[in-house]
Amino acid sequence: MFEVRVCGNFSAAHNIRGYKGNCENLHGHNYRVEATVVSRTLDRLGMAADFRLMKEKLEEVLSLFDHKYLNEQPQFRQQNTTAEIIAREIFARLRRSLKPLRITRVTVYESESASASYTGAK
Tens of each residue's pLDDT in the chain, 122 residues: 999 999 999 999 999 999 999 999 999 999 999 999 999 999 999 999 999 999 999 999 999 999 999 999 999 999 999 999 999 999 999 999 999 999 999 999 999 999 999 998 76
Taking the alpha carbons at both ends of the chain, their separation in whole angstroms is 20
pLDDT at residue 120, as a whole number: 80
What CATH code would you report for 2-118?
Answer: 3.30.479.10
Q: What distances in angstroms separate CA 43 from CA 9, 35, 37, 75, one per listed residue?
A: 28, 20, 14, 36
pLDDT at 122: 63
Residues ≥6 apart with Cβ < 8 Å to 70 = 12, 13, 14, 76, 81, 86
| pLDDT of amino acid 10 | 98
pLDDT for the residue 81 = 96
Q: Is the whole-model pTM more than 0.75?
A: yes
Which residues lie below 8 Å from residue 71, measured CB to CB, with a gap of 6+? 14, 15, 17, 77, 81
Phi, psi of 86 (to 5 degrees): -60, -45
pLDDT digits (tens, 9 = 90+) for 66-75: 999 999 999 9
| Domain residue extents for the chain | 2-118
